[in-house]
Structure 1
Amino acid sequence: MLLKQCKQTGFYVIILFFYNFYSCSAYAACTGLGCSCSVGTQAVAFGSYVTTSPTPKTANGNVAVTCSALVIYSVSYVIRLAKGNSATYTPRFMNSLGVHLNYNLYTTAAFTSIWGDATGGTVSVSDSYTSIGLSTTRNYTVFGRVPALQPVGPGTYTDSVLVSVTY
C-alpha cells in the first residue's frame, strides 16, 4: 500500500516454512519400541514493511518437534534450516516478481546466530531427552529480521525454507 502523505511504501512479507524429516543419522538417534519424530512449523510473518523506517522489522515463528514411542525412549536430533530462495545464508532473501528483500532467521532474539545447516557460519539446533511412552513436543522459536532501509517496491515478498529434523 502506498502512503502518499509520507512517501512510504508498505507491504506484507510472509515466509512459509515447509518441512521434511530424515532418519538414521550417525549423529542423532531415536531409541525405543516404535520411536518416531515429526516436525511442524508456524510461519514467520513480518507484516508491513516500511522502506524508510530506520528500524529493522522483526517477527517470530516456531518449529515444533514431536517424538513418541510405545515405551521408554531416548531421542536426540538436529534441526536445520535451508537457504530458501537464496544461494547463501548471508543474506537470505524473499522474492516478489524478481525483486529481492533481504532477511534472515536466527536462533535467538539477539540476532547473532543465523539458523542454517551449521556450515558457512550458520548454526543448527540440537536437543535430546528421555520420555516414558508419551508423545513429547518441544518448541523452538525462529527469530526473523528484515534489515531496515531496503529500497524495494510494494508487493508480496515470500520465501520457502525447508526445515529438516535428523534423528
Structure 2
Amino acid sequence: MTRKFLMILAFCAVMAPVGSARALCVLCSCSASTPGLAFGPYDPTSNSPRDSNATVSINCTGVAALLGTIDIALSPGGSNSIPNRRLIQGADRLTYNIYSDSNYTTLWGDGSGGTTGVSLPFNGLLTYAATVTAYGRIPAHQYVRAGAYTDTVTITVTY
C-alpha cells in the first residue's frame, strides 16, 4: 500500500523505494510528519553552502503478517526534477536539494534521475515508529532577491 503526505516547507525547504521486500501489513495505517526544513537567512556572498536538517517521523499501526521494509520517497517539488530542486519566490529561483546522508552525497528522491529513497526495517508489531533525518543544502553564491523562498515536497510511504 502506498500513502502520500503533502508537506509545505517553510523558507528553504525539505524521501524512493529501495530494493528489499515490502512489509505485508493487514489493516495498517501509516503517517509521516516533519516540521520541514528551515534554512534561515541565506547570504549569497558566503563561500559556504547553507545547510539544514529535519526529522521525518513515520508512525504505523496495524497487524503485520510479514516482516519487510517501509520505503520513503520524496517528490521533486515544484521544479519537477529532483536533481534540480528549486525554492521559489515569485519569479525568482534558489537552487537547493535534500539528501539522505550527512555528507550531502545521496539525493533523496523517488528512484529516478540518480536518486534513491530511504528504506526502514519493519518490526512486525502492532505499532511502528521510526525517524529519519533529511539533510538540506543550498549551494553558495546564488544571487537572488531577499525574501522567503518555499517549495512543496510530497513524502510517499510504501509498505
TM-score grouping bracket, smaller chain normalisation: 0.7 to 0.9
TM-score (norm 2): 0.82
Q: Which has a greater percent of strand?
A: 1
Alignment check: 8 A CA contact 1:73 1:130 kept:
no
Give the deviation of 1:61 after TM superposition. Answer: 1.1
The answer to whether structure 1 residue 121 and structure 2 residue 119 are counterparts is: no
Q: How does 1:54-73 map to 2 (within 5 A)?
A: 54-69=47-62
Amino acid across the alignment from 1:124: G
Q: Secondary structure at the match of 1:44?
A: coil
Cα separation, 1, equivalents of 2:144 and 2:154 = 25
Unaligned runs of 5+ in 1: 1-11, 18-26
SS at match of 1:90: helix
Q: Deviations over 1:19-43 (max 9, x none)?
A: xxxxxxxx523335x3322211220
Which residue of 2 is the match for residue 158 of structure 1?
150
Identify the match of residue 40 of structure 1 among 30, 33, 46. 33
Q: Does structure 1 residue 92 correspond to structure 2 residue 85?
A: yes
Q: How many residues align?
A: 145
How far is 1:127 from its partner?
1.5
Q: 2:23 and 2:124 mapped to 1: Cα distance? A: 14
> Which consecutive residues of structure 2, in runs of 5 or more, have no partner in the other structure?
1-9, 15-20
The answer to whether the 8 Å contact 1:30/1:36 transfers is no
* Contact kept in structure 2, 1:73 and 1:132, CA below 8 Å: no
1:147 maps to which residue?
Answer: 139
SS at match of 1:137: strand
Runs of 4+ that moved beyond 4 A: 70-73
- Output the TM-score relative to the length of structure 1: 0.78
For 1:80 and 1:61, locate their aligned partners in 2 and report how far apart those are by CA, in whole Å.
15
